[in-house]
Amino acid sequence: MSEEARLDLGRRDRLGMVEAVWGEHKSADQITAVMLGLHQAGELALVTRVSLEKAAAVQRQLADHVGSDGTVLPPLHHPLARCLTWPSLPATNPAFGRVAVLSGGSSDLAVAAEARLALACHGVASDLVLDVGVAGLHRLLGQLEGLRRARVLIACAGMEGALPTVLAGLLPQPVIGVPVAVGYGVSAGGQAALMGMLASCAPGLTVVNIDNGYGAAMAALRILQLGPTA
């Protein structure tokens, strides 16, 4: 059986999404081969959950690769988002409008950064709204007017995960909750936040898996691809 990756080069045509590659359990050699295959097919490569050491190894292996336009540009590592992209990200498409990515605290920032980068890979502009957790509710209330201008809201929260519920009770846009593996013992690696969001009494709240910033971004993209709101 071949060990070569079978790339999904038709995902953009089917779903309007680039293929994302899970990098945490792949070697640097495997990631290099996948990124090179995507690049040679003229597709943007997005690899998630890549450590600094593994990213540096991939960059070394692809440092001298010459693109179809004659340029030499190694993959870019986004350390906060823990992702690799190659080549440059597309320009922002104003037809999508903007997505607001919120975090309860700075401990949620890596997951929020992954969501923002995944959106940027598809030309979607986003705004980051930090430290608006419900422990200081006034901080969130002060952002509501600006948040009304976003088409979709992505809320990343650990601890008890209340932020998406509060947002979905205050604003009419689609709200996508991302439970984050942050919190003391009973938080159980994001399980408490996940259960809290799933049990939310705010109607219409969408919830993705723990730490799944990429999945939240793709849920937002599916909504945005329906076209502008009336």
Q: Tell me, yes or no, whether 4 lies in a domain.
A: no
| Same structural domain, 110 and 211 | yes
User: Which among 84, 66, 83, 62 has a CA at the least distance from the CA of 74?
Assistant: 62
Q: Dump pLDDT digits (tens) for 143-164.
A: 999 999 999 999 999 999 899 9
Residue 117 confidence class, pLDDT cut points 50, 70, 90: very high
H-helix or E-strand containing 207? Answer: strand 206-207
| Same structural domain, 49 and 25 | yes
| Same structural domain, 118 and 181 | yes
Residue with more model confidence, 94 or 7: 94
| Same structural domain, 161 and 217 | yes
Contact (CB, 8 A) for 177 and 111: no
Q: The tokens 């953009």 sit on which residue?
A: 12
Q: Tell me, yes or no, whether 152 lies in a domain.
A: yes
Q: State how far the Cα of 120 lies from the Cα of 158, in Å rounded to an integer.
A: 24
Q: Residue 118: which domain range?
A: 94-224
| Same structural domain, 81 and 105 | no
| Same structural domain, 29 and 109 | no
Q: State how far the Cα of 63 lies from the Cα of 55, in Å rounded to an integer.
A: 12
Write out the two tokens for 69.
């336009």
For residue 104, the domain's CATH number is 3.40.50.1970
| Same structural domain, 53 and 100 | no
Q: Tell me, yes or no, whether 134 lies in a domain.
A: yes
| Same structural domain, 27 and 68 | yes
Does residue 230 surpass a pLDDT of 70?
A: no
| Same structural domain, 105 and 81 | no
In angstroms, the Cα distances linking 158 to 51, 55, 214 are 22, 27, 17
Contact (CB, 8 A) for 208 and 174: no
Does residue 193 surpass a pLDDT of 70?
A: yes
Q: How many CB atoms lie within 10 A of CB 194?
A: 22
Q: State how far the Cα of 168 lies from the Cα of 157, in Å rounded to an integer.
A: 14
Q: Tell me, yes or no, whether 229 lies in a domain.
A: no
